[in-house]
Amino acid sequence: MNPPASNERLLGIGRHIRNMRDERGMKQNHLAQKAGISREELSRIERERVSPTIRTLQGLCAALDVPLRDLLEEGRD
């Protein structure tokens, strides 16, 4: 079980990932494929039903061409 502080830091990341995907005109299937995850997992992340692993975040950042630091900072808003 994650301590509350780590969960709080992840709030907003899913929403931010979805916003970045939408800004790029990408479909969930395309982003998921580029990031090496299933569309279902991406959907759960975007809806903040699950917390992504660091490996998943790295794959998403590579697929979206953004640094991990930027994604984490935006996710804290």
Q: What H or E segment, with its residue span, contains residue 3?
A: none
CATH code, 57: 1.10.260.40
Of 8-17, 22-31, 65-74, which gets the smallest average pLDDT?
A: 8-17
> How far is residue 50 CA from its own chain's centroid?
10
The rounded distance, in Å, linking the Cα atoms of 17 and 2 is: 21
Number of folded domains that form the chain: 1
Supply the range of the domain harboring residue 35.
Answer: 4-75
**What is the pLDDT averaged over residues 2-30?**
80
Nearest CA to 54 out of 31, 33, 62 is that of: 62
Please give the mean pLDDT across all residues of the chain.
Answer: 86
pLDDT computed for residue 56 by the predictor: 97
Q: What percent of the chain has pLDDT over 70?
A: 81
Contact assessment for residue 39 and residue 32, using Cβ atoms and an 8 Å cutoff:
yes
In degrees, rounded to 5, the angle at the alpha carbon of residue 74 between the alpha carbons of residues 71 and 76 is 115
pLDDT computed for residue 12 by the predictor: 86
